[in-house]
Structures are given as C-alpha cells and as structure tokens.
Chain A
C-alpha cells in the first residue's frame, strides 16, 4: 500500500502550493467580483512578476528587495493595463473582456519570450536550509512561501475590512450604481483593484520563482488553475477561493502519488466539472438566497 509518510509529505506540498495558488486566485476573484472581468492574462501577470523579480535580483542581489520592486512595478503595470485596455470595455459583455485579456495575455507571453529568451531563468532561494520531513529533506523556504502568502492574504483581508479603499471596493462589489451615488470614485476603484490583483500575482510569481525554472509559458498553467479555483470557490468569493485553492492543490498533490504531475492536473479539472454540474455557484460559497 501507499506509505503513510508519503501521503503526509504530499499534504504538506499541497498546502504550500495551495497558498501560492490562493495568492493568484484571490486577485483573479477580486477582479471578477468587482468588474465582471475574467482576466485571461492573470497567469501571465504572475509569470511577468517572476521575471521582473529576476531582473531586479540581477541589479540588487537581494531577494526581498526584488520581491518588493517586482510587486510595485506590477502594480503600476496593472494600473496601466486596466486604464488602457479594460476601462473602455466597462459595461460591455463579460465575454468581450475575456477576448481583450486574451489578447493582452498573448502580448505579455511573447514579450517575456522576446525579452528573457526560451531558457528558463533561475531565482536563488533566500532561505537555503532544509529539515527532515519523514523520508525527504524538506526545504525551509517552502514553508516560508506558505507563511508569506498567508501574511499577504491576511493583509488583504485587513485592508478590505478596515482600509478606506477596501471599504470602497466592497461597496462597489455590492452595488456599483449605489456606490457611485454615494460619491465613491468607481472607475478609480476598478483600476486600484486591478493593480492589487496584478501585484498579488507578481508576489506569488517571485515567491514561487525559486522552486522552479521561470519560463514564459508557466503563466497559462496558473491561469487555468486559478479559473478552476475561482469557479470551485464561487466566483467573486474571496474566502471561497482561498479554501478552494488549498482543496485543489491537495487533490493534485495527492494524485501525484499515483500519476505523473502532468496527469494530476486532470483531477482538478474533474473537480471543476463536477462542481459546475452539482453546485454551479461553487462548493465553498454560501448558498445564494
């Protein structure tokens, strides 16, 4: 049978991957919840963030400084993207926004290929130690990733709950017209939300970077996974997305005990299809009244 410790190691793996995915997916769901925009380029923002991290690392030589610069520059890029490509589409069919963000995704992906080349880039781990987890030497850095992601998501939660912009965002999500009537600058809120989503994707990219080779195609995987998570967790539901990220990542990690990682993706796809058939509003979302 399968050794128990193997299952435990995969559970730890699943939790760590789940936290990264939660960071990407919560940005996606935030953007969807407020603007009805399905951001096809979200995984590419994640990928571009990771690349910006490598560039910044070459200059500064410090991982944490690189993380900060990548996050800030992606936030600015997010502002620009939203204002240039998505603001004109406000109020049109949500499908139009899928098309526009799909175009942006193509541009970002090929820009990254052009700028950074086809050879995967490496980002060194800022924390290099290992500890013994049953039969493997488990890197401390992976736990740092999980904690950092949890901290960022916690920060987002506090910001949404108590920050002025956070309250504006929640108000706009609830009722766009009413929020506008109350004097909330709705177009600006949209732009800020997109920038926050992009920044979180970049943070996830830089944190995730050291565990893999960064390449221009890795964004699509995350776009797809984030879609799965956002649907399973309930569109526009922040808490649901975080739970769903962990759930999906655990499923995939456990599936890798039996099949190759490439095939394990199918497990999460099946979870998505079952969710859509059984409970289209999302497993981790409260039942709509």
Chain B
C-alpha cells in the first residue's frame, strides 16, 4: 500500500489541510482567552509526546508503557542545565534534556528490544518505574518529592538578540518545534528506514528473513521515540518552570498510550488529536466530576478500545501517510 502512496506522492488535499491546521494553531493566541491559550500550548506539547510514542506503537508495533521515563529525563535534564548555568540558556537546556533522554533511551532500548509484545510493554514499564524510584528517592540531586523549580530561560541567539518569552512567544516557539518534529518524523516514517519499521510491525520473521537486522532497527526506533519524548519533556519544563517526579510516574506513560489509541495509531497526527481530545475531556469532566474525571474518561477509553480500535483519525490512516 505504502509503495503506491510513495510513488504518487502526498496529495494536494493533505498539504492544504496541513497548512490550514498550522495556521489555525498559529492564530490561536489571538482569538482564545488567556486560559485556553495556555491550554493550546499544552496540547501541542502533549501532542509531541504522543507522536513520539506513535513511532513505537503505530509504526514498529511495540507498545511502550514506559514513555514517562524519557519525558521525565528530558524534563530533569533541562532543569539541571537551567539551574547549573547562569544565565539560563534555552538551547543548552534543550541539548542537555535531549542528551539525558537519549542516554536513558539507549539503555532501555538495549534491554527491552530483545523482547516482544507484552514482555516489551512490561519491561519498559518496569524501567520507567526504576527511574521513578531513583528520581523520587535521590533527594539531594533531584529534589525528591518536591522536584525542582527554576526560572524560564529567554529566547535568544547568542550575540544577536535575547527576548524573554511572552505567552504568545512561547506558544509559537512550541508550535515551531512541534511542526518541525512532525515533518521530521513524517519523513522518517516514509523513508526506507520507516518502511522497515512498518514491515517489522506487519511480519517480523519475514523482515528478518529478507535480511534486515531487526534488533538494530528496533533499538533505533526506541531511541528515536525516546528522543522526541525527551524533547516534549524539555518543552513542558520550559513552559511550567518546574520538574516533578509525578511526570516520571507510569500514569504519564499510560496517557501516551491513551492519546494514541484515542487519536488513531500509525498516523502521527492522530495521537496529537487524541491528546487534544483527552485534555478537552479532562477539562470538561473535571468541571463536573472534579478530581474524579478519570472515571468517565476511563470508561470512554475502554469503550473506544472495544468499539473504535482504529481511533478518531484511524479512518484517514492511508491519506495521512502519503
């Protein structure tokens, strides 16, 4: 199916839709009230997080239940850079966050990719719990339960300009990072490398028989996914000016899976839509059910798993992968 799609190239309709959505997101700060502006930025960050785990769930066919480890390490890496270096530097924070996430991802990938299916899920879950326990109990370095707080770094290019982030500035910065990440991930999934990942999902023994080194591809896939999850962690840290152990807890990994299933796996944009859908539901239901919003959300999620396994955007999966 995909080879045909590659031959014909992306359709005009797809790019029109893409431009409209990005333009709408860019214009969002002008029309939305203050609360929803922040909300839109948050959707983008969680959307990037969801997209990163789609590489594993949707394209390579491995469900990671430990994505919070990468998110959290990105967060704590950024925090470390922002606290250690004066004045705080945005690019350094991103670099350190990404390196931290990449190291953890390499470590997790090395062990977990030897396993398949639920064993992979359980191993990633256990690894994220290990990092959670380390971060939670190593109070001297990580601040333990209280986490770390820091000041927001300004946006700047050394020697050229430095401006502090405004609410809109942050939104556009996040939008820029997310759009670039999306285009990069899209390009990767359509490259020969991405095709191999999808063939692992469809038929692993055959992929191996053709001569691909499946384990190596899986390791790279986990690392790639972890890297972008780390990037979303960095963005979240910059937006909220703190790093907390709660974000390494397995519930965050669970949310990544929920985003994917709700939005539609294997589409990259589906998980972003899933994140938006989830956060909106959370917002609406917390006004009715307060902190128990996960009761209706959990029910809806379970019903979707049973009745709409392809997710909200799953029906357009082919068009979105052109």
Binding site for B on A (CB under 8 A): 38, 85, 88-89, 92, 94-96, 98-100, 102-107, 109-111, 113-114, 220, 224, 227-228, 231, 260, 262-263, 265-266, 269, 272-273, 276-277, 280
Contact = CB atoms under 8 A, between A and B. Distances in A.
* Interface of A (DSSP majority class): helix
B136 A262 contact: yes
Nearest to B290: A114
Contact of B305 (A38, A96, A109, A220): A96
B119 interface: yes
B136 A106 contact: no
A114 B130 CA distance: 29
A39 to B, nearest CB: 11
Given A224-B126, A266-B130, A269-B129, A277 B114 contact: yes
| Top 10 closest pairs, chain A to chain B, by CB | A103-B302, A106-B298, A107-B298, A103-B301, A110-B294, A114-B292, A100-B305, A99-B305, A110-B295, A269-B126
Given A227-B125, A269-B129, A272-B126, 17 more contacts: A89-B305, A98-B63, A98-B118, A98-B121, A103-B302, A107-B302, A109-B294, A110-B292, A110-B298, A111-B292, A111-B295, A113-B292, A265-B129, A266-B130, A269-B127, A276-B111, A277-B111
A225 B138 CA distance: 22
Nearest to A85: B302
Interface of B: 63, 65, 111, 114-115, 117-119, 121-123, 125-127, 129-130, 133-134, 136-137, 250, 254, 257, 261, 289, 291-295, 297-299, 301-302, 305-306, 309
Contacts of B119: 231, 276, 280
B298 A276 contact: no
Contacts of A266: 130, 133-134
Given A95-B118, A98-B118, A103-B301, A276 B306 contact: no
5 contacts: A98-B63, A98-B121, A107-B302, A262-B133, A273-B126
Given A102-B257, A227-B122, A228-B126, A276 B114 contact: yes
Contact of B294 (A38, A96, A107, A224): A107
Identify whether the interface residues of B are mostly helix, strand, loop, or mixed: helix
Contacts of B298: 103-107, 110
B294 A269 contact: no
Contacts of A107: 294-295, 298-299, 302
A200 B120 CA distance: 27
Contacts of A113: 291-292
Contacts of A260: 137
Given A102-B257, A107-B295, A38 B129 contact: no
A105 B301 CA distance: 11
Nearest to B61: A95
B309 to A, nearest CB: 7
A283 to B, nearest CB: 14
A195 B274 CA distance: 33
A114 B290 CA distance: 10
A98 B258 CA distance: 12
Given A263-B133, A273-B111, A106 B117 contact: no
A273 B125 CA distance: 11
A57 to B, nearest CB: 24
Contacts of B250: 220
B254 A269 contact: no
